[in-house]
Amino acid sequence: MDLNLFTRRSEYEWEIPPHGAMRVPAIIYASEGLIREMDQKVYEQSVNVATLPGIVKAAYAMPDAHWGYGFPIGGVAAFDPDEGGVVSAGGVGFDISCGVRCLHTGLTRADLLPVQKELADMLYDRIPAGMGSTGAIRLDDREMEAMLTGGARWAVERGWGVPADLERIEERGQMQGARPGNVSAQAKRRQRDEMGTLGSGNHYLEVQEVTSIHDEAIAGAFGLERGRIVVMIHCGSRGLGHQVGTDYLKRMAIAAPDHRITLPDRELACAPINSGIGQEYLGAMRAAINCALANRQILTDLVRKVFAEILPRAELALVYDVSHNTCKAEAHRVDGGERRLFVHRKGATRAFGPGHPDLPEPLRAAGQPVLIGGSMGTGSYVLAGTAGSEERSFSSACHGAGRAMSRHQALRTWGGRQVIDELAGRGILIRSPSARGVAEEAPGAYKDVSAVVDAADHAGLARKVARLEPLVCIKG
């Protein structure tokens, strides 16, 4: 992007001053190199978000920001319902509560390497992955309602996990205020056979080694040690979440004139938080969050069972589970007072700082774990929320590396077998039902995750704690 479009506030903060219909400024956190490489749509979409009714302080974009649907991916915006604030289905995204969880194993690389291939093959055999993948679980109407209300707590109650898991999940594993009745029959049909599945796109399950520690004290609080093996799971609400997004985007776009909302882009379809449709969407979105939490919980149980067969000494305790693609009601300090705001994080991670009451006691002093996924051959990171991120971005940070090229461009550049063979040569085993999907998600199709994480760290959004390198990747 053209840097002349911005007012540079610091080395990692770039402001778009209000102009035209903008109600607040737009702020992008990035290094100069990252912002130069961002596509022009990030600028345009950030400006558009800043025009929405009831927006508070600014429209934000994280260092991994790239073109999305309505909001940029990596976009953060908070709205005040008492000032006509809106909720936007496009500001949440289609894969509602797509997120990442990380598990300890207590193992080392030396423990893993003798069974690396066997582990990769069994994980691939037991974890359904890919477009339209289905699992062994089939939910009837009653269980569907219970799952959409109970989230990961529902899964644990049915034997897919242990109660201790819930303390290491946002919202303690259950999003309150879910309204399964607001979820369409079509959305429920799409999810009936998809529980405990990875899906496709950038979703994955990785076995990783902690290769470096950047903050010993926080790493210790998180239970991370250099040389230890962890498992990272990245997936979301599958067909149900996508259908909820589709259903309500259409309804919001049609209803916008009734609420006297002028949209700069139809993809920004929204409704007042306090309106009937706004409340209906929030109930359906919260149900989809529970779907994603339950899905990751079932996947965790499947992973534990595979390790129990091959590496029975593995511990597989949950480090943390974070969501991106959400809108949550949170208390934030604005202009010296506390206000209840609805914070949209699209492709962005909540990053509460040390001492926040929503964090479980073992982690509270360190701040919330922020899990940043890479792409197969690239590293992933664990960060921690900072006290300063409350003021800078409503306690939000980036969620991944962010795409540097489209999937079509990636397909023209790489072949799936080529990527698999190159990574195997580096000791990384890939298992996927789709060579095309592997090519689309080639490591080179993404930004440099280290540069993104460094920008988040230097901007004060989250503190860098540990780097993880992949050894096995099950790719959807």
**Residue numbers annotated as active site:** 399
Number of H helices, E strands in the chain: 17, 19
The residue with tokens 């508070």 is 56
Cβ–Cβ under 8 Å, residues 73 and 45: no
Cβ–Cβ under 8 Å, residues 331 and 319: no
Neighbouring residues of 446: CB distance < 8 A, sequence distance ≥ 6? 374, 375, 378, 400, 401, 402, 403, 404
Cβ–Cβ under 8 Å, residues 87 and 342: yes
Q: Which helix (H) or strand (E) holds 216?
A: helix 216-222
Burial, 177: exposed, middle or buried (Cβ in 10 Å; 0-12, 13-18, 19+)?
A: middle
CA 22 – CA 1 distance, rounded (Å): 20
Measured CA to CA in angstroms, residue 71 lies from 38, 75, 252, 283 at distances of 14, 6, 15, 21
The residue with tokens 């990574």 is 423
The residue with tokens 């939000």 is 396
CA 323 – CA 337 distance, rounded (Å): 27
HSE toward the beta carbon, residue 261, CA cutoff 13 A: 28
CA 250 – CA 42 distance, rounded (Å): 23
